[in-house]
Amino acid sequence: MTLAPDPLASSGIVVVDKPRGVTSHDVVARLRRIFSTRKVGHAGTLDPMATGVLIAGIERGTKLLAHMVAHDKVYAATIRLGASTATDDAEGEVLCSADASGLEDGDIAAAVRKLTGEIMQVPAAVSAIKIDGRRAHELARAGEAVSLPPRPVSVYSFDILAVRREGQVVDVDTRVHCSKGTYIRSLARDLGAALGVGGHLTALRREAVGAFTLSDASSLPHLESHPALSLTLDEALARSWPVLTVTQEEYDALAMGKWLEPRGLKGVHAAIGPDGRAVALVEERGKRLATTFVARPSTL
């Protein structure tokens, strides 16, 4: 069967290996030039000091980003014990220091275990969370007091890879697998507080967002010389969610935002038509199998 030209051929996602020293917004600006379109966005902000997996949407792929933010994430992080900072990372002013050289490896491991699992976490003051319409980091860097309530997050694993000692500070290399909304700098802050010596983040690299890892990522210089989507919209949906194959009639109904009869599905699925193209993300709600995102609306 010959497929008709795909109006979404230029839509999809690009997995970028973000370099240190640039903002996520800077990456978006570069991608707009590379792909010659204003329709570029990103899912899950990385701070300038952080590197690694940043998922960007191109054209209609931008509509998918809100759903991809919900995926879990994996980070490699270095936590320095012995000092706390205003930003909970190495870029902030040191607020207080303490001699951490007496900490035993067992003490560190025990404190890490208490920060694993379902925990309540106070987000970092320099987070992107909005307070009365302004980002918390904007308020914090302007010298205003920022108070954020704790919220539940899931730290699925918090593994110590190495402990390195130098003078009065202790650097702990870790790998963290966590839910959306988890702040690694807050884990660093809380680990240092629990051990009574203060702590902050000195390095952070995001290794995975959901199914997308560093092996999928391209550097900005590579994209500038070889501009190409990492995955089409079809590939992104089929890779990120379980696939539900639908008939052409069902495909057409979903394209119009209509609901289907439930079929006992758990969680969100990517509905794929007979032609192999994704039409929507669907989820059962009561007695309906409803769309949560329509990739190919009938109006295209």
DSSP 104-159: -HHHHHHHHHHTSEEEEEPPPTTSS-EETTEEHHHHHHTT-------EEEEEEEEE
143 pLDDT above the threshold of 80? no
Mind listing the pLDDT tens digit for each residue in 192-240? 999 999 999 999 999 999 999 999 999 999 999 999 999 999 999 999 9
Per the annotation, the verdict on 47 as an active-site residue is yes
| Measured distance CA(254)–CA(293) in Å, rounded | 10
In order of their start, the domains of the chain are: 12-70+210-233 (3.30.2350.10), 73-209 (3.30.2350.10), 241-294 (2.30.130.10)
Count of CB atoms situated within 10 Å of the CB of 287: 8
Give the pLDDT band of residue 128 (cuts 50, 70, 90).
low
| Measured distance CA(47)–CA(39) in Å, rounded | 22
Of the candidates 223, 156, 273, 259, the one whose C-alpha atom is nearest the C-alpha of residue 15 is 223
Contact, 96 vs 73, CB < 8 A?
Answer: no
Residues in contact with 299: Cβ distance below 8 Å, sequence separation at least 6, in sequence order: none
Pairing of strands 169-178, 73-81: antiparallel
Of the candidates 235, 286, 281, the one whose C-alpha atom is nearest the C-alpha of residue 67 is 281
Virtual torsion, Cα 124, 128, 129, 135, nearest 10 deg: 110
103 pLDDT above the threshold of 90? yes
pLDDT at 127: 63
| Measured distance CA(31)–CA(24) in Å, rounded | 11
Catalytic residue among 17, 47, 190, 216: 47
Residues in contact with 58: Cβ distance below 8 Å, sequence separation at least 6, in sequence order: 10, 11, 12, 13, 14, 31, 35, 37, 39, 40, 229
Of the candidates 226, 299, 300, 295, the one whose C-alpha atom is nearest the C-alpha of residue 12 is 295
Contact, 245 vs 285, CB < 8 A?
Answer: no
| Measured distance CA(137)–CA(183) in Å, rounded | 13
11 pLDDT above the threshold of 90? yes
| Measured distance CA(227)–CA(215) in Å, rounded | 17
pLDDT at 153: 96
142 pLDDT above the threshold of 70? no
pLDDT at 140: 57
pLDDT at 3: 58
Count of CB atoms situated within 10 Å of the CB of 23: 13
| Measured distance CA(181)–CA(123) in Å, rounded | 8
For residue 123, how far is the Cα from the chain centroid?
15
